[in-house]
Amino acid sequence: MDENYINNEPYIDPSDPSTVPKFVDELPIPPVIKFSRIVDGKLYYEVHMIESRHCFHKCFPKTTIWGYDGMYPGPTFEVVRDQSILVKWINDLPFKHFLPVDRTLHGAIDTPEVRTVVHLHGANVSPDSDGSPEAWFTNYYALAGKQFERKVYEYTNHQQATTLWYHDHSLGTTRLNVYAGLAGFYFIRDTLEEKLKLPMEEYEIPLMIQDKSFNKDGSLFYPEVPPFPVPVRPSVVPAFLGNTIVVNGKVWPHFKVEPRKYRFRILNASNTRAYTISLSNEQDFYQIGTDGGLLTNPIQLKSIILEPAERTDIIIDFSNLNGKSITLVNSDTNPNTSVIMEFRVILPLKEEDKSEIPENLYPTEHIEESMAEKARDLTLSATTDEYGRPMLLLNNLMWHDPATEKPEFDSIEIWNLINLTTFPHPIHVHLVQFKILDRRPFNLQLYQDKGILEYTGPAIQPREYERGWKDTVRTDPGMVTRIIMHFKDHSGDYVWHCHILEHEDHDMMRPFRIIKDCKPIMD
């Protein structure tokens, strides 16, 4: 009997991706959330975090997930620039986590097992609406009926039209909560973008890419311990790489398209995995935006690297592919994780494609190195914790250490991110959008021995696809990555961290404080 068949039917084991047929399910598009009422002239939304059952693949049993309004991904926000909205995030989750909680991590030692707080990633918001890791709240009925729900968050949307995303940010359990499904898109629109003839409506598609692993019964798998002996169980792991690719909540989906241009807003929402994305037919595509919004001019590319939390806004032209299928692929030697999804150019063209890839997209907003008032040297380093587990740190400090980065309000700073580790880290700075200045190799041994920063080669300009506004940057090993940013609009306490979620949860996260002088008002 063929071991790949049972009762003459193909045997599908969710834990073994080689048995799972690809491109079976159609790509779902997350629905746009509707506001519930208007409060003080602002649109008011309520979003419940709910445990529910989700179908990742038509051949899988339904899987327990946590979703915003019970959906994975969560519903998409579509908002208008400079029009504030109010969102009440409500925790209706169970009291016990269905993934392994490490009680030795900051934030998880003596707190409720299930805690959530929502961070709108890339947003220009005040500290009390930023989703601080310690601003978590529980289910309304938790802890003997005490109410731990935070106040309603206000999002001013005072920034360029762009692709943001919202996700859980609770201290010590972010990796678990995001993996469980707590993530969704947030689009800001503005009149400048509307004047461009970009593909829109049904031709503008969000793609949230994550890697997952499953147990035989179709439930989500997340390791309880690292692949080496540790005295703690459950224990945080140094990284998580799933063996199956999921897009918008479906395993290796397909998407039917017309022979015309489509706009894709792509998000890497994986815990650890980076993707080098291209098309299987080696066709070019056009990048029109980065984390912080539209570029000044489009860029023609064959591939792009996306670290966790990075976004890219691209246009693919299917005009000459009528009747064909191509795949969105990832540069990986594994045959499963090298495939993301399939495009099938099989829909009839409804009408003439009048969308464009404009030569000029968005006015350039300059921020020059000469404008910086301060430069900071900040290290990314590796050590071990009290249990002998690898632990990554920023500036050799842990989360609970007092803030050492205190930029002045309305100041411009350069941060020199010195990567002393052997692998890249995606570094995310809350509140701001920054520009990458350059990367430069340095004498690693000399710096580790004597703290002397000696460059060993010329500065390398940002990669072509990362020259727009960014809120997350890949810091390459053995390099100093320089970013420049303007701390404006808000003051107070924020955070910066690695967006590999396993690193973030295990102390690769630091507070920073924007200082605003309080001067008396003179008559």
Give the pLDDT of residue 140.
67
Give the pLDDT of residue 11.
77
Q: How confident is the model at residue 517 (pLDDT cuts 50, 70, 90)?
A: confident
Reported as a single tens digit per residue, the pLDDT across 73-122 is: 999 999 999 999 999 999 999 999 999 999 999 999 999 999 999 999 99
Give the pLDDT of residue 365.
84
Q: Of 83, 91, 521, 465, which is closest to residue 295 (Cα–Cα)? A: 465
Q: Is the confidence at residue 208, as pLDDT, over 80?
A: yes
Mean pLDDT, range 201-205, rounded to an integer: 98
Mean pLDDT taken over the chain: 94
Both tokens of 32, joined, read 């746009």
In the chain, % of residues over pLDDT 90: 93
Give the pLDDT of residue 397.
98
Q: What is the DSSP letter of 373?
A: S
Give the pLDDT of residue 141.
57
Contact criterion met (CB below 8 Å) for 321 and 344: no
Q: How confident is the model at residue 453 (pLDDT cuts 50, 70, 90)?
A: very high
HSE-up of 253 (CA within 13 Å, CB side)? 20
Give the pLDDT of residue 149.
55
Q: How far apart are CA 272 and CA 266, in angstroms?
A: 16
The three state secondary structure string of 286-313 is EEEEECCEEEEEEEEECEEEECCCCEEE
Give the pLDDT of residue 364.
85
Mean pLDDT, range 233-238, rounded to an integer: 98
Non-local (6+) Cβ contacts of 276 within 8 A are 303, 304, 305, 306, 330, 331, 332
Amino acid at the residue 45: Y
Give the pLDDT of residue 464.
96
Dihedral sign, Cα of residue 508, residue 512, residue 186, residue 94: positive
Give the pLDDT of residue 257.
98
Contact criterion met (CB below 8 Å) for 417 and 456: no
Domains of the chain: 5-190 (2.60.40.420), 201-345 (2.60.40.420), 369-514 (2.60.40.420)
Q: Which residue has the tokens 């968050």?
A: 153
Amino acid at the residue 96: K
Reported as a single tens digit per residue, the pLDDT across 482-491 is: 999 999 999 9
Give the pLDDT of residue 43.
98
Q: Is the confidence at residue 8, as pLDDT, over 50?
A: no
Dihedral sign, Cα of residue 461, residue 466, residue 468, residue 473: negative
Q: Is the confidence at residue 10, as pLDDT, over 70?
A: no
Reported as a single tens digit per residue, the pLDDT across 35-53 is: 999 999 999 999 999 999 9
Q: Is the confidence at residue 178, as pLDDT, over 80?
A: yes
pTM: 0.95
Mean pLDDT, range 316-325, rounded to an integer: 98
Reported as a single tens digit per residue, the pLDDT across 385-437 is: 999 999 999 999 999 999 999 999 999 999 999 999 999 999 999 999 999 99
Give the pLDDT of residue 256.
98
Reported as a single tens digit per residue, the pLDDT across 260-274 is: 999 999 999 999 999
Mean pLDDT, range 444-451, rounded to an integer: 96
Mean pLDDT, range 239-259, rounded to an integer: 98
Give the pLDDT of residue 366.
87
Q: Give the residue, 34 or 522, on which the prediction is more confident.
A: 34
Mean pLDDT, range 170-192, rounded to an integer: 98
Mean pLDDT, range 432-444, rounded to an integer: 98
Give the pLDDT of residue 259.
98
Mean pLDDT, range 271-281, rounded to an integer: 98
The angle at the Cα of 15, spanning 14 to 18, to the nearest 5 degrees, equals 80
Q: How far apart are CA 395 and CA 311, in angstroms?
A: 26
Helix (H, G, I), strand (E, B) or coil at 81: coil
Both tokens of 158, joined, read 């005072």
Q: In Å, how far are 70, 382, 465, 503 from 420, measured between CA atoms?
A: 41, 8, 25, 15
Taking residue 301's Cβ as centre, other Cβ atoms within 10 Å add up to 17
Give the pLDDT of residue 509.
98
Q: Is the confidence at residue 124, as pLDDT, over 90?
A: yes
Contact criterion met (CB below 8 Å) for 469 and 291: yes
Give the pLDDT of residue 139.
87
Reported as a single tens digit per residue, the pLDDT across 329-370 is: 999 999 999 999 999 999 999 999 999 999 999 998 889 999
Contact criterion met (CB below 8 Å) for 392 and 426: no
Q: Of 291, 304, 301, which is closest to residue 331 (Cα–Cα)? A: 304
Reported as a single tens digit per residue, the pLDDT across 131-158 is: 999 999 998 655 545 555 567 899 999 9
DSSP assignment of 398-439, as one string?
-TTSPP-B-PBTTEEEEEEEEE-SSS-EEEEESS--BEEEEE
